[in-house]
């Protein structure tokens, strides 16, 4: 690694000390930290990558319902651009914190079989969207997409380009999630040549003790080498994923990780709250409860992240995402174009999401659909020449209204009431009278302001945006009756 690639690393960084736990801090990043409020209001709740959320999908929606949804697009005409999501479920080793749908195996022949079926599904989807298949966004997730070899990725990308029409590199957003342990500098350059222009690196934490506790040994120099290679290869955006609340994490270790990440100068940084739900995710049972940081320590970690990234010039996009002011996400938010989907925040709002691979979730027209979660089911349905749709959801008018409202809150932190009333046949104050009554308490707490024309989330409320959105979720009471299924909002 050339030292010139990271000039900021040569300068001493003075760590920012977290304020006392009861102090209110206005961060440059665009969110106000109030520990007492966060401690009091933090609770289990959805992340709203969709509304209704995926736990509301039902098996009464299947393959033929999906065909009907695509046919509806064709009937209405004026097809929108497409976003493609491909799920590569394989990993070499298991990371104990992970809650993704994955298959841990070193038997590479499994990927050969999977790719043959994945290409079949891609071809079937392409046939459905023939004539309206312009792709503006592509995302490879997992698992570990770079589990695939260069040759396998070459073949898969060539198949995608034969099947769909892709927008030019400068217009499209083509991203891939990368485990730095699985790629060399040469592989990063190959990924760029294969058509990817955005890269996301899983880091989680640089501290060796934390890495051992979650079974993800990832030397710092490997990660920095991948970032350097991505810059040299001409990737438009480099993103780093971190997690706070992991076993063995402390304020000091978190501060050191943040300093190293800021010095590496990525375009985007995601700081996720670790959701410890061993009752749902078997690998998490290997984490020692005694190693988990306290709730108060996790809150102070969050405060540290907001302060450190804000001081470094990053803009708070929402939830757990930060970006440089000139990054596409920050620009889209300022212009009111920001969108949120199953991959998180996106600049491509007006697209239909076509998802391929086991467990992948798509959004076409006014429907959601999710594929089966096991390889055996996936292969069996494709052998029957059926898309492997296991469940889904058809949105009614109320769902579309609430989805639009929640999207605006999640992405822009405000909703124009007249605009919503113009788009839907409602009188806001009447239709949402019960919700407005509940919002009054949030207004008293300083989380929102409610006016005749705008519902706005304050700087103090931004860190509790999920709580605000939950007020408008009419399915939430049903979900709570079924037991805890979501992570903590803070």
Closest CA to 286 of 95, 13, 428, 470: 95
**Sign of the C-alpha dihedral, residues 143, 340, 471, 32?**
positive
The domain at 51-353 falls in which architecture? Alpha-Beta Horseshoe (3.80)
Contact 298, 348 (CB under 8 A): no
Query: In whole angstroms, what is the distance from residue 246 CA to residue 36 CA?
Result: 22
Contact 370, 391 (CB under 8 A): yes
Closest CA to 141 of 169, 92, 170, 177: 177
pLDDT for 34 equals 87
Contact 375, 114 (CB under 8 A): yes
The boundaries of every CATH 1.10.10.920 domain in the chain are: 397-481
**Sign of the C-alpha dihedral, residues 214, 216, 219, 222?**
negative
In 154-282, at which residue ranges do the beta strands (DSSP E only) sit? Answer: 165-166, 173-178, 198-204, 237-244, 268-273
pLDDT for 480 equals 56
Query: In whole angstroms, what is the distance from residue 415 CA to residue 433 CA?
Result: 16
pTM of the predicted protein model:
0.89
Number of H helices, E strands in the chain: 17, 22
Query: How confident is the prediction along the chain (490 residues), in pLDDT tens digits per residue?
Result: 333 322 222 222 223 333 333 333 333 347 888 888 888 988 878 989 899 999 999 999 999 999 999 999 988 876 789 999 999 999 999 999 998 889 999 888 899 999 999 999 999 999 999 999 899 999 999 999 999 999 999 999 999 999 999 999 999 999 999 999 999 999 999 999 999 999 999 999 999 999 999 999 999 999 999 999 999 999 999 999 999 999 999 999 999 999 999 999 999 999 999 988 888 888 999 999 999 999 999 999 999 999 999 999 999 999 889 999 999 999 999 998 898 888 788 888 779 999 999 999 999 999 999 999 999 999 999 999 999 999 999 999 999 999 999 999 999 999 999 999 999 999 999 999 999 999 999 999 999 999 999 999 999 999 999 999 999 999 997 755 555 566 666 7
pLDDT for 484 equals 52
pLDDT for 12 equals 27
Joined tokens for residue 144: 């570990």
Query: In whole angstroms, what is the distance from residue 381 CA to residue 461 CA?
Result: 46
The boundaries of every CATH 3.80.30.20 domain in the chain are: 51-353
Angle in degrees, CA 372, 74, 130, rounded to 5: 70
pLDDT for 483 equals 53
DSSP H or E stretch at residue 304: helix 295-311
Contact 44, 489 (CB under 8 A): yes
Show Cβ contacts of residue 179 under 8 Å, excluding neighbours closer than 6 positions.
Answer: 91, 144, 146, 201, 202
Show Cβ contacts of residue 239 under 8 Å, excluding neighbours closer than 6 positions.
Answer: 198, 199, 200, 201, 266, 267, 268, 269, 270
Closest CA to 90 of 110, 117, 120: 110
Give the alpha-carbon dihedral of 379, 279, 281, 83, to 10 degrees.
70
In 224-267, at which residue ranges do the beta strands (DSSP E only) sit? Answer: 237-244
Joined tokens for residue 208: 């060796």
Show Cβ contacts of residue 60 under 8 Å, excluding neighbours closer than 6 positions.
Answer: none
Query: In whole angstroms, what is the distance from residue 138 CA to residue 268 CA?
Result: 18
How far is the CA of 66 from the CAs of 6, 168, 390, in angstroms? Answer: 48, 29, 10
Query: In whole angstroms, what is the distance from residue 406 CA to residue 50 CA?
Result: 9
Evaluate whether the domain defined by 397-481 bears CATH number 1.10.10.60. Answer: no
pLDDT for 342 equals 84
């Amino acid at each position: 690694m050339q030292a010139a690639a990271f000039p900021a690393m040569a300068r001493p960084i003075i760590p920012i000390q977290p304020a006392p736990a009861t102090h209110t801090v206005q961060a440059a990043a665009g969110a106000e930290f109030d520990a007492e409020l966060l401690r009091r209001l933090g609770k289990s709740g959805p992340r709203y990558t969709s509304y209704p959320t995926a736990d509301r999908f039902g098996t009464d929606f299947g393959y033929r319902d999906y065909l009907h949804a695509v046919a509806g697009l064709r009937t209405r005409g004026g097809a929108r651009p497409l976003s493609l999501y491909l799920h590569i479920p394989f990993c070499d080793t298991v990371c104990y914190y992970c809650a993704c749908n994955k298959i841990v195996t070193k038997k590479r022949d499994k990927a050969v079989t999977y790719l043959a079926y994945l290409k079949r599904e891609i071809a079937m989807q392409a046939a459905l969207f023939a004539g309206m298949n312009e792709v503006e966004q592509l995302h490879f997730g997992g698992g570990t997409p770079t589990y695939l070899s260069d040759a396998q990725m070459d073949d898969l990308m060539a198949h995608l380009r034969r099947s769909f029409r892709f927008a030019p590199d400068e217009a499209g957003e083509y991203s891939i999630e990368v485990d730095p342990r699985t790629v060399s500098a040469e592989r990063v350059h190959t990924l760029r040549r294969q058509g990817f222009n955005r890269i996301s690196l899983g880091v989680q934490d640089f501290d060796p003790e934390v890495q051992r506790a979650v079974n993800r040994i990832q030397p710092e120099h490997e990660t920095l080498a991948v970032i350097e290679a991505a810059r040299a290869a001409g990737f438009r955006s480099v993103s780093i994923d971190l997690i706070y609340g992991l076993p063995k994490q402390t304020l000091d270790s978190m501060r050191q990780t943040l300093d190293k990440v800021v010095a590496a100068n990525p375009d985007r940084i995601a700081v996720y709250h670790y959701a410890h739900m061993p009752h749902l995710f078997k690998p998490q049972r290997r984490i020692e409860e005694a190693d988990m940081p306290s709730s108060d320590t996790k809150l102070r970690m969050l405060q540290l992240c907001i302060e450190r990234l804000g001081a470094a010039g990053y803009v708070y996009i929402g939830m757990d995402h930060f970006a440089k002011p000139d990054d596409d996400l920050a620009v889209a938010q300022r212009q009111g174009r920001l969108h949120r989907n199953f991959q998180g925040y996106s600049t491509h709002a007006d697209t239909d999401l076509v998802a391929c691979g086991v467990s992948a979730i798509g959004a076409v027209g006014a429907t959601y659909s999710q594929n089966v979660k096991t390889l055996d089911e996936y292969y069996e349905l494709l052998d029957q020449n059926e898309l492997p749709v296991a469940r889904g959801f058809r949105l009614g008018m109320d769902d579309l209204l609430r989805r639009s409202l929640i999207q605006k809150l999640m992405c822009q932190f405000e909703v124009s009431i007249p605009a919503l009333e113009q788009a839907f046949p409602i009188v806001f104050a009447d239709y949402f009278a019960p919700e407005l009554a509940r919002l009054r308490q949030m207004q008293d707490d300083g989380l929102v302001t409610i006016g005749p024309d705008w519902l706005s989330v304050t700087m103090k409320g931004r860190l509790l945006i999920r709580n605000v959105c939950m007020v408008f979720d009419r399915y939430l009471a049903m979900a709570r009756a079924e037991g805890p299924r979501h992570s903590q909002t803070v």
